[in-house]
């Protein structure tokens, strides 16, 4: 097995795609142990107000350094967990770690919102809102200290399953973001019916807006639609000044990507946030998102 260091420091151990291959099953066992032993780490990547430069929030992203295979990308192990009973435990772990970090930041006066990625499966049943409510209370955090990111698959799947959970989250006051928008062929009418406060435009569109007029048109119309629905637009995968400038021109609210900052460990991102507070004029990162 080859483990290579990619740009994000996580890449390329690819167990066989076969669902029941021994590699996958043994990796699943390793993942369970990694959760139990708290070996998984969260990195954090800021989301930047376009045109303003303030930090709108940070996204928590899982990192796993396997003792034998080295770093394994979440795009490898999260789908594996999603197909098993482990997803619930993985999400519980991420929520606990993220809330702990949020509590540290809020105690220090850094009122930054942490976005937590969840799986569509986490929306089945009442466990998630209950866990969040208990966690927020235990850490003395307001509901707006976190946001949940879920892919638009929740729009295409059976809505009845997830509607109650989404309502419970709304009642709790925890905002929802729609991740990877544009990749799931979901109906825009359904977007309107869903109580999301943020739509994240997938990097595959964002990356190409400086080169392709067609992609630029798609992104512009998504931004317009999102604004007309009263939601915040976030561009994922902003890697160049040129793309950032086009996004500002198009009226996109927030950008996230290597241009601004790569995902970093909590200590590094804390230093990054402090440095920014010292140099950024205006409200800085205690910007309170509208919910």
Residues that bind ligand C2E (CB under 6 A): 8, 10, 45, 60-62, 73-75, 78, 94, 117-119, 149, 179-180, 203, 236-239, 257-258, 263
The item of ligand C2E, Mg ion, none sharing an interface with residue 260, based on CB under 5 to 8 Å by kind, is none
Under the binding rule (CB under 5 A), the answer on residue 56 touching Mg ion is: no
φ, ψ for residue 270 (rounded to 5)?
-65, -45
Q: How many CA atoms lie within 13 A of 4 on its CB side?
A: 4
Under the binding rule (CB under 5 A), the answer on residue 233 touching Mg ion is: no
> Closest CB to ligand C2E among 34 and 60?
60
Find all residues with CB under 8 Å of 161, minimum gap 6, and list them.
123, 124
For residue 215, how many other CB atoms are within 10 A of its CB?
Answer: 17
Are 59 and 44 within 8 A, CB to CB? yes
Are 82 and 121 within 8 A, CB to CB? yes
Q: How many residues does the chain have?
A: 291
DSSP for residue 50: T
> Closest CB to ligand C2E among 86 and 238?
238
The item of ligand C2E, Mg ion, none sharing an interface with residue 129, based on CB under 5 to 8 Å by kind, is none
Identified binder of Mg ion from the candidate list 11, 76, 179, 253, rule CB under 5 A: 179
The item of Mg ion, ligand C2E, none sharing an interface with residue 73, based on CB under 5 to 8 Å by kind, is ligand C2E
- For the chain, the maximum distance between any two Cα atoms, rounded to a whole number of angstroms, is 55
Q: Which of 3, 66, 62 is nearest to 29 (CA)?
A: 66
Are 193 and 161 within 8 A, CB to CB? no
For residue 105, how many other CB atoms are within 10 A of its CB?
Answer: 22
The item of ligand C2E, Mg ion, none sharing an interface with residue 39, based on CB under 5 to 8 Å by kind, is none
> Closest CB to ligand C2E among 10 and 132?
10
Q: How far is the CB of 116 from ligand C2E (least distance, A)?
A: 7
> Closest CB to ligand C2E among 84 and 286?
84
Site string for Mg ion, 87-126 (x = CB under 5 A): ------------------------------x---------
Torsion of CA 48, 38, 86, 118, to 10 degrees: -10
Q: How far is the CB of 33 from ligand C2E (least distance, A)?
A: 18
Under the binding rule (CB under 5 A), the answer on residue 180 touching Mg ion is: yes
Query: Cα 239 to chain center, whole Å?
Result: 17
> Closest CB to ligand C2E among 9 and 52?
9
Q: Which residue is nearest to ligand C2E (CB)?
A: 257
What residues line the site for Mg ion (CB under 5 A)?
117, 149, 179-180, 236
């Amino acid at each position: 097995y080859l483990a290579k260091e990619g740009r994000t420091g996580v890449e390329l151990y690819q167990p066989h795609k076969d669902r029941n291959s021994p590699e996958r099953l043994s990796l699943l066992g390793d993942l369970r142990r990694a959760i139990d032993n708290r070996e998984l780490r969260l990195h954090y990547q800021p989301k930047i107000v376009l045109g303003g430069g303030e930090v709108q929030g940070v996204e928590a992203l899982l990192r796993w350094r396997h003792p034998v295979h080295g770093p394994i990308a979440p795009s490898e192990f999260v789908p594996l967990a999603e197909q098993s009973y482990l997803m619930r435990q993985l999400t519980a772990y991420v929520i606990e770690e993220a809330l702990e970090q949020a509590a540290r930041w809020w105690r220090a006066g850094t009122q930054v919102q942490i976005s937590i990625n969840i799986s569509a499966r986490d929306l089945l049943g009442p466990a998630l809102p209950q866990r969040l409510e208990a966690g927020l209370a235990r850490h003395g955090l307001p509901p707006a200290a976190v946001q949940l990111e879920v892919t638009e698959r929740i729009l295409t799947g059976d809505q009845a399953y997830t509607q109650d959970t989404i309502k419970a989250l709304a009642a709790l006051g925890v905002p929802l973001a729609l991740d990877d928008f544009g990749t799931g062929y979901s109906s825009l009418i359904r977007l309107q019916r869903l109580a999301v406060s943020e739509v994240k435009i997938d990097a595959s569109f964002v990356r190409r807006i400086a080169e392709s007029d067609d992609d630029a048109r798609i992104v512009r119309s998504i931004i317009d639609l999102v604004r007309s629905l009263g939601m915040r637009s976030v561009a994922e995968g902003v890697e160049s000044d040129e793309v950032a400038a086009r996004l500002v021109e198009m009226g996109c609210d927030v950008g996230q990507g290597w241009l601004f900052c790569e995902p970093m460990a909590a200590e590094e991102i804390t230093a990054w946030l402090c440095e920014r507070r010292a140099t950024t004029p205006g409200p800085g990162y205690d910007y309170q998102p509208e919910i």
